[in-house]
Amino acid sequence: MDDTILNFIGGSYRQGSERKTFPNFNPATGEQIGLVQEASADDVADAVAAAKKALQGPWGKMTTAERVKLISAVATEIERRSDDFLEAEVADTGKPRGVASHIDIPRGAANFRMFADVISTIPGEAFTTDTPDGGQANNYTVRKPKGVIAVICPWNFPLLLMTWKVGPALACGNTVVVKPSEETPRTATLLGEVMNAVGMPEGVYNVVHGFGPNSAGEFLTSNSEVDAITFTGETGTGQAIMQKAAMGVRDVSFELGGKNPAIVFADADLDKAVEGLSRAVFLNTGQVCLGTERVYVERPIYEEFVERLAAAGKGFKPGVIDDPTYLGPLISAEHRDKVLGYYSRAVDEGATVVTGGGVPKVENAQADGFFVEPTVWTGLSHDSTVMREEIFGPCCGVIPFDAEDEVIALANDSPYGLCASIWTENMSRGHRVAASMDVGVCWVNSWFLRDLRTAFGGSGHSGIGREGGVHSLEFYTELTNICVKL
């Protein structure tokens, strides 16, 4: 793998004009594996200018069918080069190959294919209006691209979350400037090669590397030629970006943090609930925005559930990379410190550590990786910091409950509102409780079961707007209503 990671601007790979670099680490080994060229303010301005220019060039003049053909070709090329994408994603994140090969990379391709389908089949809107003179008028809407979209991404599912935004943005005829996370620059960079290989016009897809404040992220959101900003990341970062978006009254779409609850009723199929929630808590080492960190269990099955979830947690092997039960590292030493801070805080707040709670002993090439133990706590109060703040690690607190109303109130008592899961064999209750959750996405007897056509996003501190299927089109297009007097 080439270990200098470049910006991709106007169809060409470039160093940063100030020749500044920052290191890229493999979190599974703690080793520096490359250098990333940081984009300067001028580089970001160049990328935005390239994106703006592309709107006036062949891309802006293409028919929907021509655009769809190119976007479908991007999906096919990602699939053809899936091994390269897999290597890049595993190097940046240290995540198990099985996770990247089943989730990250195929979803990266699917995000282009699905939005190519959506844009090909979207119906328009039309109304016939009675007019005061006794005649009629016909109204219909025309969808136009918004223009240059800034796409700012996190590190937990780098290709997947980036293409989730780039796919619909391009399908709608926009151009993009992507700012990947500083932790995971590789797959966004590689996608530039794919764009060139399929003949995407230059400037349609651009990538600038760097950090947030006073770096590429802020340079991008402050650029007045950017027409809209789509962002996935922490709630606090969303607030900072929103202030920049206010300059020029630009639209935002935000997918932010969460503190997602699960509710397990006594009549749940316990095998399914334990299997589903062990993924919800531990998958991707808990670095999943949809992950579960609060589990409320009805008292008659509480003890058994805790024992079985803890056993499932113990079944993951942090650091044992060749084992099918390998649990990957956290993304960085800094993030590990943050998660371990919550591990000790939990004990200070009265938790019983049922399993985990520390750093595993790892004796192989991964000895310096950023691993933590999968952790389950009991005995925490619903109001404790550990049960209220997003940790983003492989851990959860389990709390017993006695009544449906009580648990609905507990689950909803959070400033976040991303997702929830309900586990019960009583479907009447399943529907009722799911509808009472103040979240953007609620699963019953499953978790992370995604249909890309459905609305995705969060309420409260978890986001603004919904993306997915036709919902993405609301953000990535402007509607013009045309009224014709007959």
* Binding region for ligand NAD (CB under 6 A): 152-156, 161, 179, 181-182, 211-213, 217-218, 221, 232-234, 237, 240-241, 255-258, 289, 390, 392, 418, 458, 462-463
Q: How far is the CB of 322 from ligand NAD (least distance, A)?
A: 28
Q: How far is the CB of 476 from ligand NAD (least distance, A)?
A: 16
Could you give the CA distance from residue 449 to residue 408 in angstroms, rounded to a whole number? 22
Q: How far is the CB of 127 from ligand NAD (least distance, A)?
A: 34
Measured from the CB atom, is 193 or 234 closer to ligand NAD?
234
Residue of minimal CB distance from ligand NAD? 212
- In angstroms, give the least distance from the CB of 435 to ligand NAD: 21
Quick one: 43 or 182, whose CB is closer to ligand NAD?
A: 182
The answer to whether 411 touches 295, Cβ cutoff 8 Å, is no
Q: Which is nearer to ligand NAD, 221 or 424 (CB)?
A: 221
Closer CB to ligand NAD, 26 or 237, in the complex: 237
Q: For ligand NAD, give the closer residue by CB, 46 or 77.
A: 46
- Closer by beta carbon to ligand NAD, 310 or else 452: 452
251 burial (CB, 10 Å; 0-12 / 13-18 / 19+) is middle
CB of 239 to ligand NAD, least distance (A): 9
- Residues annotated as part of the active site: 255
Instruction: For residue 36, give the amino acid letter.
Output: V
d(CA 383, CA 463): 23
Residue 213 CB, nearest approach to ligand NAD (Å): 5
